[in-house]
Amino acid sequence: MDAKCPKCSNIAFMDDQLAIIKCTHCGFKSTYDEYIGIMKEIAATLSYDYIPNNTSYNKD
Ligand SMILES: [Zn+2]
C-alpha cells in the first residue's frame, strides 16, 4: 500500500503486516499510528499556510 511521505511528499510504502510507513526517498520511517498523527498535523498546518501563489506547491 502506498502512502504519501509527510517529510518529502514522495511516495512512501506502508508495510501492512508491521503497520510501518517507510520512505525510500528521505529515509522517513514511523509506525502507522505516528504517521496518522503527523498527517493530521500537516493537514491542519496546510489549511493555515496554503496560499495559492505559493509556487512551491504548484511546481509538481
Ligand atoms: Zn520521504
CA pair distance 23, 8, nearest whole angstrom: 9
Cβ–Cβ < 8 Å for 20, 29 = yes
pLDDT tens-place string over residues 5-54: 999 999 999 998 989 999 999 999 999 999 999 999 988 887 766 556 65
Look-up of cell digits 525510500: 24
**Torsion sign over Cα 8, 13, 16, 20:** negative
Looking at per-residue pLDDT, the higher value among 2 and 25 belongs to 25
Residues with CB under 5 A from ligand 1 (ion): 5, 7-8, 23, 25-26, 28
21: CA distance to ligand 1 center in Å? Answer: 10
2: CA distance to ligand 1 center in Å? Answer: 12
Query: What per-residue confidence (pLDDT) applies to 47?
Result: 76
Look up the pTM and report it: 0.66
From 32, 44, 42, select the one nearest 8 (Cα to Cα).
Answer: 42
Domain layout of the chain by residue ranges: 2-51
